[in-house]
Chains A and B, each alone.
Chain A
Amino acid sequence: MQLLVFAKDNTHPDKTKDRQGCYKRGYVVAVKDDAHTWGAKEGLPDFYVLKLPKIPVSKGQKYNEAERDENYILYRRRLWTVRLDDLPTKEKTALNKGELVIKATALHVGASDTDWATMKDYFRNQKTGLDETEDL
């Protein structure tokens, strides 16, 4: 699968609308399969692509979900965020080229920039404040 991740911070002067509606750096915007080709504007400076070969799209869907309150009202545009600015230098350097290939299964035998064991520590649940612990 591939995760399209927002690379910048959108803002709104209304703090509630800013939290509810605006995409922030590190928010996943779309999840597509390995074969998907992205459009001309689905790259830098607006987006990064995180590639996780051989992982089904269904495994990434939760990172693309909004955070909603108990009445199903939108609370935050995304429950999860990728802490891009906290990534180790190696991953950050690779990402600055626009995409990062993450090995998340033994089924992927090609080249990669990093692995899921490293990267999952930078996927944070904004409601709990905890980083991901699960494997894909």
Chain B
Amino acid sequence: MATTYTLIQAVTVGSGGAANIEFTSIPQTYTDLLYKISARMSVATGSVFLRFNGTTTDGKTLWMDGDGTSLTGNLDSSNQYGPVHGVNGNNLTASTFGSADIYISNYTSNKHKSSNTDGVTESNSATGVTMACGGSRWANTAAITSIQLVSAAPGNFSEHSTAYLYGISNA
């Protein structure tokens, strides 16, 4: 069990937005990482994903998502790591932001990395709120030193989107 949560860095997207949010030079002194985001995109999709160490390969993700009328399961073998559900597209209620947590275990190990994600969008629409949870594997033995949050569609993270990176020590 975690005994400490330490905020490593926090960032808020400014006016004009940003295509990517990237944490670099991540300290190698913790056991796990927790990445918390509250975000909205400039396009009508909240499809974003994580990219470790700038690599575009080695990812595989399994997730479930639901919107109140259906529940679906998906396997993404596209090599992109870790789709992050729970980010609002700009088609949802104005000035609302989805939120998601991504827990990354043993990020400094020389084994493949696992993570789990849960997230939910925010909307006044009965069909606008979707939730998802998923697990991912990054088939790479390198320690994670940087994390990019990237839009799958060609959009930007909107102003006031936030990202927090916590380090978690188990001892």
A and B pair up? no
Task: Give residues in B with beta carbon < 8 Å to A.
Answer: none
